Amino acid sequence: MTIIEKFKSVVKEREDKTALGFLQEENYQKISYQELNNYRLQLARFCEKKGWSFGEKVALMLDNSPEWIISDLMAATLGMVVVPIHTTFNSEYFKRVVEHSESKYLIINRKFFDKHKEIMAFLSVKDILIVGDCDDIQDDRVDSWPDLDPLQLQKDISVEIFDRDPHTIIYTSGTTGDPKGVVLTHKNLVLDVESAKRRVDITKDDRFFSFLPLSHAFERSAGYYAPFFSGASVFFAQSSKTIVDDIKKARPTVINSVPRIFEKIYGSIFDSVESSSQFKKKLFFKGIRLATLKRKKELKWYLWPQWKILDMIVLKKLRNIFGGRLRLAISGGASLDVKVIKFFDNLGIRVIEGYGLTETSPIICVNHINDFRFGTVGQALDCNEVKIDENKEVLVKGNNVMMGYYKNEDLTKEVIDKDGWLHTGDLGFVDREGFLTIVGRAKDMIVLSTGKNIFPESIENVLNESRYISQSMIYGDKQKHISALIVPNYDQLKRWCSKHGINFDLKEERILNFYKDKIDGRLKNFAKIEQIGSFQLLEEEFSQENGLLTPTLKLKRYKIISRYNLK
């Protein structure tokens, strides 16, 4: 089945039900499945008249929005290949992706067109469709996004598309090197999503909150295709800066996120508690203790009234951070500390971890909401097999594995062996019940001069739990000991400096001693070789804007090492 066949079957069933929600003048406006279908066909007719056709590539540089979804559905209708481009890419990277993918067409927000205007003249695209006003642009290739009528019905468009045909080329985030174009078919995407839905129960009444970039495979499949194929709705955040306010208005039941978001919320909650009165602290920790007992099914009958009261006056307020209706959060992209998962579980929000790669459409494993193991990424989906080779590398084989890397047959053969197994580059193990635990990425492993191997991620996760540490990166390959780059939580550090009468200077000896104590304290239960020998406090955060984070907020280690000239 193709993406558009699946979408049309849902439209028939969910016709007047809400498909999308987007913010306009601080209120959510809704688009029904039938209205979205009308938009899809109107845009497809518009593009068809311009000569856009089967097999041609169309690049998208759009925020998460109805236009992103409509563009993707238009392409699926005409049998075109979508090349999503992360909105945080710099101009050189943007140009490289458009040229390498041989995209003939570009759909782009006006603000991104302006951001990259210096290279627009050099892009060898035939048409540029701009979302936003473009009357002042002098370029014969430019046209404005058409006016779409939610009530205007269109005759369906018949293009022969097979499930084996490619639907998208997704360029990987590049945590380990230059980006690669992953070619995924309709079959890859549909079977992977349908398989994931058999592990994670999604109902037509669910409402998803979308803030991770749709240009990334995780959000596209788990935050767009999965809810749509279930007849659920998707509400967009207006921007990354408005997530806290937007989620309260959207009142979702499901969110997809990455560990960094959960960790920041966890940290901010405890920061708030720390600065509150002794009475409020006592209520908070009492509520958490009782909620923990309830989760473990150890809450005595005579404590239930206390728990209900504290749940109402304490824990409910914390749930309201997410809009008050959230039942499920799916975390992917990296490992999430078990302590954080259990904390949210105590609040009544089930956080389940999954695992995948762009090359696998992307979901490989996921925990079930009622059959999960903390600290694992769940069991393999039924559309693929997972095995561990003699080097402890995770291998995957199945219908969700990519066609290959675009225009790079040699690299494709490197990662997919002659028997069809994709070599993920991740190390892990599978327990007797089939739950997979990821130990770390082979390329991220630090080998000390002593020959000892260290995976940095678990150390970084523990350091980042400190309210005085915003981000960290461990390094030290071929050295006697590991070292760390530390991005302080500047607000917390400034408060501490003010309280102790210390000038805010990251080279100040008392500040460095303070952080040494914090680091040693966080790592007291780690092995001797996992202790930090030296560290440096940074004045700049790792971000997408400075090229040191991927769109899913993972560290670009090789770029950080280069930026700070680390050994």
Q: Could you tell me the two tokens for 203?
A: 């109902």
Neighbouring-strand partners of residue 313 = none
Residues 6+ apart with CB under 8 A from 445: 427, 453, 454, 455
Which token pair is 299? 């809450």
Instruction: Report the candidate in 193, 218, 170 with the shortest Cα–Cα distance to residue 399.
Output: 193
- pLDDT of 175 > 50? The answer is no
Contacts of 432 (CB under 8 A, 6+ apart): none
* Residue with the two structure tokens 């210390």: 502
CA separation (Å) from 499 to 478, 494, 495, 502? 41, 9, 6, 8
User: Helix axis angle, 3-14 relative to 186-199, nearest 10°?
Assistant: 50
Q: How confident is the model at residue 177 (pLDDT cuts 50, 70, 90)?
A: low
Averaged pLDDT for residues 135-163: 94
Distance, in Å, from the CA atom of 393 to the CA atom of 387, rounded to the nearest integer, reads 8
Task: Return the closest-CA partner of residue 484 out of 525, 528, 516.
Answer: 516
Element (H, E) at 93: helix 91-101
Q: Report percent pLDDT > 90 for the chain.
A: 86
Has residue 178 got a pLDDT over 70? no
Per-residue pLDDT, averaged over 9-23, amounts to: 97
**Mean pLDDT, the chain, as a whole number?**
94
CA atoms of 13 and 9, how far apart (whole Å): 7
Strand spans (E) along 389-505: 393-398, 404-405, 422-430, 436-441, 446-447, 453-454, 469-475, 482-488
For residues 218 and 356, the answer to whether their CB atoms sit within 8 Å is yes
Cα angle: 522, vertex 524, 526; to 5 degrees: 100
Rg (C-alpha) for the chain, rounded Å, is 24
Among candidates 430, 404, 429, which has minimal Cα distance to 415? 404
User: Phi then psi for 10, rounded to 5 degrees?
Assistant: -75, -40
pLDDT at 477 over 50: yes
What are 195-225's pLDDT values in tens digits? 999 999 999 999 999 999 999 999 999 999 9
Residue 220: its H or E element: helix 217-220
Q: What one-letter code names the amino acid at 101? A: S
How much is the pLDDT for 173? 61
| Band of residue 259 on the pLDDT scale cut at 50, 70, 90 | confident
The whole-angstrom separation of Cα 308 and Cα 59 is: 52
pLDDT tens, residue by residue, 108-139 = 999 999 999 999 999 999 999 999 999 999 99
Distances, alpha carbon 40 to alpha carbons 11, 43, 233, 235, 292, in Å: 12, 5, 17, 18, 48
Mean pLDDT along residues 356-384 = 96
Q: d(Cα 352, Cα 370) in Å, to the nearest integer?
A: 10
Contact yes or no for 143/133 (Cβ under 8 A): no
3-state helix, strand, coil in the chain (%, to 5): 40, 25, 35
Q: Can you give the pTM of this predicted structure?
A: 0.90
